[in-house]
Amino acid sequence: MSRGRLRVYLGAAPGVGKTYAMLGEGRRGMERGRDVVVGFVETHGRPRTAALLEGMEVIPRRTMTHRGATFTELDADAVIARGPKTALIDELAHTNVPGSRNVKRWQDIDDILDAGIDVISTVNIQHLESVNDVVQEITGVPQRETVPDEVVRRADQVELVDMSPEALRRRMAHGNVYAPAKVDAALSNYFRVGNLTALRELALLWVAGKVDDQLDRYRAEHGIATTWEARERVVVALTGGPEGDTLVRRAARIAARTKGADLLAVHVTSADGLTGADPAGLARRRTLVESMGGSYHQVVGDDIPQALLDFARGVNATQLVLGASRRGRFAQILSRGVGVETTARSGSIDVHMITHDEVMKGRRRPARSRAALTRKRRLSGWALAVAGMPLLTVLLSPFRDVLSLPSEILFFLCLTVGVALAGGMWPAVTAAVGGSLLLNWYFTPPIGEFTINDPENLFALVVFVLVAAAVSSIVDLAARRTRQAARASADAELLSTLAGHVLRGEAAVPSLMERMRETFGFTSVTLLERRPEAGRTPDHRSDAWRIVATSGGAPSTSPGQSDTDVVIDDDMILAARGGPMDAADRTVLESFAAEAAVALRQERLQEAAERARPLAEADRMRTALLAAVSHDLRTPLASAKAAVESLGNTDVAWSDHDRAELVDTAKESLDKLDRLVANLLDMSRLQAGVLGLTPEPVALEEVVPRAVDDLGPVRDRIEGDVSVELPEIVADPALLERVLVNLMSNAVRYSPPDEPVLVTASRHGEHVEIRVIDRGPGIPPEAHDRVFQPFQRLGDRDNHAGVGLGLALSRGLTEAMGGTLVPEETPGGGLTMILTMPVSPGTVPA
């Protein structure tokens, strides 16, 4: 019996329509004559979902009792006994009641599949094990029911049931997901726009990964090596040369032309692990690629064109970006080069040959020491060559008649190999030449002459010289590669140290300078910056430079006073004292210097931003105050003045009713003026940082009722839903009450008369959210930030109802207490103000 097929409908959140889609597919199967049964479906009281169940065969559930309560579960045995072609089973991640056939429902489904029955099931992205912690971080809600990703990945078909956050919230507001009593709480907690957007992205990315896996598996199973352009993937090949920046930026522009294209950079190193490239240059290219949203890769291969194409085909790349050859014309005549060879073998991959400033300038190899061995070893090699060959000749001379020439050659060859091992190539070559002469004079007939009678002896001597030279060359090459490998390892360790230094946030300039001095053994390291008045002409005078940062002993005051200068840009140089540097060390030092310059610029930008922030705030407040004086102060003042003048007019006989109305008008105008002046003074105090705060633990069930009472006659239009189980928050009670009064009065003012204003509160991690929800006209999303600017009247208010200072003051007071205040659209119309405050320390976590 063949195993059944599993089809899973995956959703981003409850309510997107997974169960509805599953039932719809089941009904379509029934219409085609397929034997379909419902194993387990939860309608959650949704009429449209329940309507799809009509006329379908439903397998009775198994009734279970646990701790005195009765539960119903999927009866997997009954489904297997019934033996349908397809079974519809909801909630793949469900945990069964203890005592059931299996612990998890997905295990029940696995048994049903083993019985040869196809299963269609549903699951939400938050229940997948791999994203469980991410979902909890986003929503603040732990998910205790999970399913291993592999269970869903093994499914024969995974279909995403997608819906935009706005559409899902509208569906909820219309009562199509939860009961009306639960809608507001759900919308203000789990089903916030930000939460739903993040969950939707997780679901899309997970399904995209599943699709990529399916595509890779299909291509592997069918032996498809050609590129399928399902998605644009641009690969740029890097050599470590100076043209790398140009290639990366050009490749990034090519990738940017197609939405969703991937950028990958690859460097091919030889099979022995020695790249021959500048490690600091590769590190800079890697940083550049990652800053542009790409990824960096390194592969091993002796055939560079084939390695590039293997990598490109492995990632299903559609385009490959290469730099034009840096080799000279003569070298190009001898070999076609990487670019031409790659293009010839590329097949369906488009190859871009990019010109750059380094074309035809030749390949720059990293500097290396002339001697691969230490001085002591080279001297010992020369001593062995000079003294060893004559000594060996003396030792072998008595046995001239006993030993044949090939045996004598082997003795000399062994000594030559020993010289090569001790001193490298040139002492060994010298020993080989000298040995051949000694063999010719003392051991090759005619003895005592540099002539050879037997051609075979001549051939043996020539082979001796060639073998000796080859062995010495190999030994010398191995010694050089060993030193290069050690150098590369040291460079990698230093760059790793620098990367860790940056990742740990230790990017302060003094710390980097001290790290450089310690790493390279300098006596002092100084970062010099050209003075603006010195211009850009080369100048080594001390008065043309100023010291930005230094570490160690006496600093260098100009580039000419240091042993090593590293030019960072036209205006900045790193000057180091402590002896000259090896060329290979200099490349790593350049990375440190570049990082020091970046850290310096970041510090300066932060300082400039800190200096500019109070100036900008002061300028904004000054403009706002002038606006208030010019219009909003004058309006209530004019009303009060007109009322008082009318009362003082003796030419008119006012009735008691008229007089009382004029007095009320004057009083109302003066009250408005008093509130406006108080708000302006508080805004000024906030701006100046002198607003008095007394933060303390505050219970919302005490503050919210007081704020409602302060609203006066409109208090009856407020409906509250603040649980007494909420933790205390940290706030100034008086200021928090004032913020709530401002928010609720604003909501009441612009809500329809028959619509109440709802005030809710809920905990989210270490914060508590207070929501003031109205059903007024709302404001457009693009104006959400502007509504908090003083004297704004945007959508939610007319041009004659207040000065627009309440929300600005409310946000300022909230932020002064360590909270946030943001607006959000109310599903179905209106505006929701979300006040978030920190939970009091010591509160038991939710």
Over residues 682-712, the pLDDT tens digits come to 666 665 565 667 889 999 988 998 888 878 7
The 10 Å CB-count burial string (b at 16+, else e) for 787-824 is bbbbbbebebbeeeebbbbbbbbbbbbbebbebebebb
Q: Measuring CA to CA, which residue among 23, 194, 39, 204 is closest to residue 113?
A: 39
Of 42-56, 232-246, 392-406, 798-812, least confident by mean pLDDT is 798-812
Instruction: Tell me: pLDDT of 500 over 80.
Output: no
518 or 239: which leads in pLDDT: 239
**For position 4, what pLDDT does the model report?**
94
Q: Measuring CA to CA, which residue among 121, 113, 110 is closest to residue 10?
A: 121
Q: What is the DSSP letter of 229?
A: T
What average pLDDT does this structure show over 627-643? Answer: 69
**For position 169, what pLDDT does the model report?**
87
Within 10 angstroms of residue 725's Cβ, the number of other Cβ atoms is 8
Q: What is the pLDDT of residues 257-267, one digit of tens each?
A: 876 688 999 98
Most confident range (mean pLDDT) of 120-134, 454-468, 520-534, 704-718 is: 120-134
Write a three-state SS string for 639-660: HHHHHHHHHHCCCCCCCHHHHH
Among positive and negative, which fits the CA dihedral 464, 467, 470, 473?
A: negative
Among positive and negative, which fits the CA dihedral 744, 747, 749, 754?
A: negative
Mean pLDDT of the chain: 80
Instruction: Tell me: pLDDT of 39 over 90.
Output: yes
Instruction: Tell me: pLDDT of 215 over 90.
Output: no
Within 10 angstroms of residue 221's Cβ, the number of other Cβ atoms is 8
**121 contacts 92 by C-beta, under 8 angstroms:** yes
Q: Which residues pair with 132 in a beta bridge?
A: none
Query: Identity (one letter) of the amino acid at 131?
Result: V
Q: What is the pLDDT of residues 790-838, one digit of tens each?
A: 555 444 444 334 445 567 778 888 888 889 999 988 887 888 999 999 9
Query: Identity (one letter) of the amino acid at 452?
Result: I
Q: What is the DSSP letter of 98?
A: T
| Angle CA 807–810–815, to nearest 5 | 125
Q: What is the pLDDT of residues 437-456, one digit of tens each?
A: 888 788 877 787 777 666 77
**For position 558, what pLDDT does the model report?**
82
**For position 545, what pLDDT does the model report?**
85
What average pLDDT does this structure show over 64-89? Answer: 91
What average pLDDT does this structure show over 536-557? Answer: 75
Q: Measuring CA to CA, which residue among 435, 484, 483, 482 is closest to residue 460?
A: 435
| Angle CA 548–553–555, to nearest 5 | 35
Q: Measuring CA to CA, which residue among 519, 507, 491 is closest to residue 588?
A: 491
Q: Measuring CA to CA, which residue among 341, 439, 420, 332 is closest to residue 382?
A: 420
501 or 348: which leads in pLDDT: 348
737 or 67: which leads in pLDDT: 737
Among positive and negative, which fits the CA dihedral 114, 115, 118, 119?
A: negative
Most confident range (mean pLDDT) of 7-16, 368-377, 498-507, 564-573 is: 7-16
